[in-house]
Structure 1
Amino acid sequence: MEIKSLHTHVDIVTRTGGGKVIPKAAYNARDRLRDNRYGKLEDYSKIDDLVFSKIFLPKHVPKKFSDREYLWNSVEEIEKSKNSQLARNLLFALPRELSEEDRINLISEFIEENFTSKGMIADCNIHNKKASDNQEQPHAHILLTLREMDREGNWKPKCRKEYILDEKGEKIKLKSGNYKSRKVNLNDWNEPDKAKEWRENFSKKANEYLAKNNIDKRIDSRTFEEQGREELPQVHLGTASYQMEKKGIQAERGNQNRKIIALNTELKKLKEEMAEISSWILSLVTMVKGLLKGFSKEKQEEYNLTPDLFDVYSYLETYYNIQKELSKNLSYDSRMRKEQFDSKKYMHTLSYMSRNNLKTILDIQGKKEEVTTRLKENKGKIADCNKQMKNIETLIKQAKIMKEHKTVYDRYKGADNSIFSKIAGASKEEYYNSHKADIDNYIRAKSILKKLSGSEKIEIKKWEQAKRALQTDIDHLMFNQKFIKEEISQIKHIKYVVDEVNKNFGIDINMEIEIAYKKAIARGEKPSVKMAIEEFQKQIKKEDQQKAWTKEHSKNKGTKSKETER
């Protein structure tokens, strides 16, 4: 059964970062809405990927709030502060495998169970644009209100003030004359674990629909890290990059994702190969342990102290001797090519084993574990570099936004209201209202920059240099990945050699154990190995004799036939 990770996004539309709820609602609904607060018409009605749109109301809320423009203008009106939180914005990817009707039913049930039943108003819109693989990309945008509402349609407070009391149960007076207090939320909608709860509930609901439709796929709400998955997460394309990719223009983020996809594919393949090798080693060791039960305790202890079993050099020599015998049946040119190829492979494997001091299967097991660790560490370093790269790209983007709006912001911030009209020909408030988008974009970019870098200083050259250094590091790590891949390939070849000798040429494991205990013959000359070669050579010789006899017999028969005809 295929298990897919759930793709979601949760954030808050807040005025602190220049956020506005009307443009967000209009974009989600592909609608045309009037923003009363800012006197602007937001129009996204020309985008044609909308497949479902509905405002879900709790049962007690007046029906007039099902009008999108009325609802969100009401929210803008009730929120007075310049740093007010206006709405919660969520995105859920919907299963491609479900029908459109099932997707709508899925998201509707999820909203009613998790949001409207708790008192939230939910504005839901489903988009279904084509993804980069030219397949459907259905996803639901949900805007949630942050205040509860009474039956008359009045917004309730988000929180209440609670006085902090001393040991005697009395209010604590501050030097300012006010009493010490704190804000207490009136509901649990903002609790930190809510997003996780919603992810889990959505996944359960989606899996119910997948199971009901007999679809062999399930959704896991856990993050890659929580699942213990080792894939590198892809970067978010964003609208600009998506539009470029859609037109066939390769965007930088698109190129990053293509590299991540290719690396994830390779990591998955290498991981499967290492798991196969681990299973093979385990099966050999299990086989030996089973056979050891037939020996005395003293021999078992001797084996445990000096595990001479499965001498890889013996297997290697046997395998290539057999290949040499096989090549005798080929034409001259084919034999030369095969012997050249086998000789090169043989020397390459011997060199690898010698460099890494690999002699027995147990040595191979240790090497496999070392390579697995290196593979994991290399992947972790690549992931860390990609994360740093993403942060730097965000810093550069926000710095450019700040530079673009710096003049307007500096003019607004630099003068007090008494002299502002002389400079700008308007009051400070009027200037802000007419340049609000530029000022808010500057403030938001400045906030993001400080959060990521710990400073408000713009250092684009330094960041570009760091970005180039990170790309160099990634290139080196990818180059290192090739060496790891080669080592895995070499270990796989050793596995193949041992399997061929053991399975196809009847090497007796019991005999290997006996020889290991007796230590009668030097390493690489075990009777079991020699016997296998001798038996094979006898078989080849016998076949050659039979071919020669058949050829001679056919020749003699032909001669006799001619004589008879005469």
Structure 2
Amino acid sequence: MLTMRPLDERGAWAAKSKKEYDLDENGERIRLPSGRYKTHKVDLTGWNDKGNALLWRKAWADISNAYLERAGHPERIDYRSNAERGIDELPTVHMGVAACQMEKKGIATEKGELNRNIRKANRLIREIRAQIGKLKEWIGELFKARETAPEQPPQSPGLANLLMKYLSVQREKSRKYSQSWQRQHAADELKTVAKAVNYLSEHGISTLAELDAALSSVSDQADAIREGMKTAEKRMKELQKLIEYGKNYTEYKPIHDELKKLKNGWTSKRDKYEEAHRAELTLWNAASRYLHANLPKGTKTLPISEWEKEYATLSGQRTAEYTKLKETRAEVAELHNIRKCVDIALKADQPEQTRAKRHDLER
């Protein structure tokens, strides 16, 4: 946080900015229709420079991290954005004091709801990526093992055969239990294998190589959904601000207009009116600055209802995309179940291959 004005070397208040007159080609001041002279604001501090803001954030992070290290805490502060840190996640929105206070009291806010949805999507994306990464690593290890095995060619085994092998392995394991337990266990395993076979059949997957390709496809699908959500979330953040500032501008404009009607100068009436409506005027000024900076020049009417409709549409799209993400997670979970079955079948094959090899040597 910064003071409203800087201090000079003597500790006295200095100016944060100054006003300069605009001059024409003859060096004369330009008079406006109102009778005043055209001016522009000159910044004297550089406090509004984004480059300085980055320097201050870095300095704050460095100092904070030095004290954290000195105190023996493992936590560290990183002033950079997610994109700068290489974190490919949907960024949350800035809540602000009012929304934070309402959320603490248990009152749900639009910003809070948006952030909750973003965090849910990020968790889902992380889960999908982690599962796909493990499956890809597993398949890579299988390919590597088959390529280095001297007794068999480096070919991709049939998944249907491996699933049937898994079923027989599980059936053998269950023989030591009661008949009723065996029947229930067999029924459960049949459901698992049937579901796996149906999935493989529907997606045209019959070998490990095709399973690897399917994983890549699912990964690309999840990335595409994420990118779509990222674009929608970015626009929703923009719309949230436009709607918020647009409503403030519209609501408090009559107060601002009334202030303008009062006689200019430090008159008692104007001062009292301004003091009585300081909060509303502050909100109007903030809204005015934001809207002038972010709307096309010459905008006369604020299309708040159109912004709200667009926001509602994007919210619906986001919900649909999140549903797709959950479907993708379910698909990855099914692939994970297939991996478990195949793993058990492959491990069961290893002792048989060892016995066969030993028998050949004895002959």
TM-score class, shorter-chain normalisation, is 0.7 to 0.9
Q: How much has 1:185 moved relative to structure 2?
A: 7.6
Match 2:290 to one of 412, 430, 448 = 448
Rounded Cα–Cα distance in structure 2 between residues aligned with 1:252 and 1:154: 41
Rounded Cα–Cα distance in structure 2 between residues aligned with 1:146 and 1:443: 19
What is the match of residue 95 of structure 2?
Answer: 237
What is the match of residue 131 of structure 2?
Answer: 273
Higher strand share: 1
Match 1:502 to one of 342, 346, 362 = 346
What is the match of residue 376 of structure 1?
Answer: 223
> What pairs with 1:17-96 in structure 2 (closer than 5 Å)?
none
- The alpha-carbon distance between structure 1 residues 502 and 444, as it changes in their structure 2 partners (threshold 3 A), is same
Rounded Cα–Cα distance in structure 1 between residues aligned with 2:155 and 2:314: 47
What is the match of residue 341 of structure 1?
Answer: 188
Rounded Cα–Cα distance in structure 1 between residues aligned with 2:16 and 2:331: 64
Contact 1:405 1:439 in 2 (8 A): yes
What is the match of residue 177 of structure 1?
Answer: 27
What is the match of residue 492 of structure 1?
Answer: 336
What is the match of residue 263 of structure 2?
Answer: 427
> What pairs with 1:526-565 in structure 2 (closer than 5 Å)?
none
What is the match of residue 356 of structure 1?
Answer: 203
Name stretches of at least 5 consecutive residues in structure 1 with no aligned partner: 1-141, 162-172, 414-419, 421-425, 512-526, 529-566
Over aligned residues, Cα RMSD in angstroms? 3.7
Q: How much has 1:183 moved relative to structure 2?
A: 10
The structure having more radius of gyration, on CA atoms, is 1
Rounded Cα–Cα distance in structure 2 between residues aligned with 1:486 and 1:460: 39
Deviations 1:378-425, CA, capped at 9 Å, x for gaps? 122223222222222222222222232232334455xxxxxx5xxxxx
Q: Which amino acid aligns with 2:55?
A: E
The answer to whether the aligner puts 1:474 opposite 2:351 as a matched pair is no
Contact 2:5 2:14 in 1 (8 A): no
Q: How much has 1:434 moved relative to structure 2?
A: 4.1
SS of aligned partner of 1:216: coil
What is the match of residue 388 of structure 1?
Answer: 235
Name stretches of at least 5 consecutive residues in structure 2 with no aligned partner: 30-39, 358-363
Q: Which amino acid aligns with 1:319?
A: Y
What is the match of residue 2 of structure 2?
Answer: 143
Contact 1:389 1:467 in 2 (8 A): yes
Q: How much has 1:235 moved relative to structure 2?
A: 2.4
Higher helix share: 2
Q: How much has 1:478 moved relative to structure 2?
A: 1.0
Contact 1:450 1:456 in 2 (8 A): no
Q: How much has 1:280 moved relative to structure 2?
A: 1.6
Matched length: 338
Q: How much has 1:144 moved relative to structure 2?
A: 4.7
- The alpha-carbon distance between structure 1 residues 387 and 354, as it changes in their structure 2 partners (threshold 3 A), is same
Contact 1:402 1:442 in 2 (8 A): yes
- The alpha-carbon distance between structure 1 residues 188 and 508, as it changes in their structure 2 partners (threshold 3 A), is farther
SS of aligned partner of 1:395: helix
Rounded Cα–Cα distance in structure 2 between residues aligned with 1:252 and 1:183: 36
- The alpha-carbon distance between structure 1 residues 367 and 334, as it changes in their structure 2 partners (threshold 3 A), is same
Rounded Cα–Cα distance in structure 2 between residues aligned with 1:469 and 1:154: 51
Deviations 1:185-237, CA, capped at 9 Å, x for gaps? 87766654322222233323323233333323333232111112123222233
Rounded Cα–Cα distance in structure 2 between residues aligned with 1:309 and 1:255: 47
Identical-residue share of aligned pairs (%): 23
SS of aligned partner of 1:218: coil
